[in-house]
Amino acid sequence: MRALLCLLGPALALASAASALASPDTTTAQPLCLGLRGRERLARADTVTVAGTAPASVSSTTASTATASVSLPLPPTATLTAAPAPTPTPLDTSLSYALTDACLVFLADVVSNTTFLSCLPLSLLLTTSTSFATLVDAAVSSGNYTALDLLVAYTNEPAPGAAACDAHMQAWAAELADKANCKADLASAAGGAAREAQTGLGNYEVMRQAGALTDPDTGVFCYLEAEASDGPDDLYLWHLASGTALPSTSTPTCSACSRLLLNHLAYSAANTITLNATIINDAVSAIDGACGASFVSYATEPAASSGGARVRGTTAGLALSLLGAVWLAW
């Protein structure tokens, strides 16, 4: 049945694709698997007290939405040689029944690829992974961020190597836009799932490096601080790359992490065709208006980190060029 292809793992992905092609169904159908999505979690505004290993005190006082003092784990000192368990799967939410057969098969092929799974794209985990959302919710509710800390560390220094993963994702982004795969879906009003996959593949390097950003005062991953914040405001910044605009009522903190992340995204937008420069620049303008005109400064190239090394301390980012990706407008 082609009503929906749920990618819950490599074997299921391929089996589902084959089944979908064998029994086409052109009638309108309801999704068979609905899960938590990153953007839905942005509405969360609960208070969290966190206790983890190797704690570092984090205190936010620059906005009413992030006033809690929490304790978060520091990044691991050793590079992980494999993704920590349980390992979430990108694109395990759903793919629309409206995608063409060719596009469904292509995406199933990508998700079943062992290199893709080993590279573990944070860009797609944030927007298309029920299992990742479940892991994050478990960290928030339990107050134990150790597993999430290890996962974020792995995504910015994956086992295949940062450069190799960057190249693979660029190639898949280009192949996705090929006429034989998802080109028709990218141009179709019903091809939202294909466009979301292309954006995640194209933004792989940008978000891999964003995940490496750490608070220069605490050493904690900036993403963990955003998740542990009382309100969703800082977390909104982590969804700008996926094309989710900063709400006009949102007030992210004037923190070092906000500055580092926005500087990284703003500088990268000039070289990454899958980043929506308008959405990012609008967010920068809003934050500069609240935090000072020069809070985000990206007129010159930020300090860079080689390979997958973690970015710490001062303003950070890279000129990220996805030469192989082909972006078609929504």
pLDDT at 235: 95
DSSP secondary structure letter of residue 82 = S
Regions of the chain short of the pLDDT cut 50 = 1-68, 300, 302-309, 311-330
**How far is 121 from 137, CA to CA, in rounded Å?**
19
**How far is 300 from 14, CA to CA, in rounded Å?**
46
pLDDT at 298: 66
pLDDT at 301: 52
**How far is 60 from 63, CA to CA, in rounded Å?**
7
Nearest Cα to Cα of residue 89 among 112, 106, 105: 112
**How far is 148 from 223, CA to CA, in rounded Å?**
10
Q: Taking the model in full, what pTM does it have?
A: 0.75
pLDDT at 93: 73
